[in-house]
Amino acid sequence: MVLLSGGPTSLILCIPGRIGVIDRRSRKSFLALACLGVALACKSPTSPCSGPSQPAILLTILDGVTSRPIGTSVTIIYDRHGDDSLTVINTHPTSTPISIGSAPGTYDLRVIASGYADWLTTNEVIQSDGCQAQTIATMIFMQPLP
């Protein structure tokens, strides 16, 4: 919001997308043609970050012995520090990476699969490129239980 003085009896109020003059004497608000010059300064800037969001982490889950996708469904539980909730994903992994999160920050992840030891990592830091998360690709090798 930009507030410019329009003289002793009026103010030019500029909020991105709206321009108005407030008459101090009558407290009426009306659009003013005189604001046209100010309008360009009040336009909302075009966001350089308007592209589609991308995942924070691309997770590929493989069997630790065969290096192939595991043959059972998995539960992925993750938390981005500062968020108020855990996110749970139930999926059957393939060779296609699984998208985790979309915001920069610090993540904790746990992968649970029947017949395998749980996989856990904490404090995985995802940086920002100034607009969104800089995606990291993580390949994990689940260890079969004896």
Is 87:112 a contact under the CB 8 Å cutoff? no
Answer whether residue 51 is part of any domain. no
Answer whether residue 127 is part of any domain. yes
The reported pLDDT for the residue numbered 46 is: 53
The reported pLDDT for the residue numbered 124 is: 96
d(Cα 78, Cα 100) in Å, to the nearest integer?
8
Split into its structural domains, the chain has a count of 2
Give the residue numbers spanning the domain of 72. 57-142
Residues 31 and 95 in one domain: no
Share of the chain above pLDDT 70, in %: 67
Amino acid at 99: S
Residue, of 120 and 130, whose pLDDT is higher: 120
The reported pLDDT for the residue numbered 80 is: 96
Answer whether residue 113 is part of any domain. yes
Which tens digit of pLDDT belongs to each residue from 105-126? 999 999 999 999 999 999 999 9
- Mean pLDDT of the chain, nearest integer: 78
Residues 64 and 108 in one domain: yes
Residues 36 and 76 in one domain: no
Answer whether residue 47 is part of any domain. no
Here the CATH number for the domain that contains residue 101 is 2.60.40.1120
Maximal C-alpha separation, the chain: 84
Closest alpha carbon to 57 in 140, 134, 141? 134
Answer whether residue 49 is part of any domain. no
Residues 70 and 121 in one domain: yes
Q: How confident is the model at residue 50 (pLDDT cuts 50, 70, 90)?
A: confident
Which tens digit of pLDDT belongs to each residue from 64-101? 999 999 999 999 999 999 998 899 999 999 989 999 99
Is 126:57 a contact under the CB 8 Å cutoff? yes
Answer whether residue 15 is part of any domain. yes
Residues 31 and 78 in one domain: no
Answer whether residue 67 is part of any domain. yes
pLDDT of 20 over the 50 cut: no
Is 101:59 a contact under the CB 8 Å cutoff? no
Answer whether residue 50 is part of any domain. no
Backbone angles phi, psi at 74, to 5 degrees: -130, 155
Is 80:107 a contact under the CB 8 Å cutoff? yes
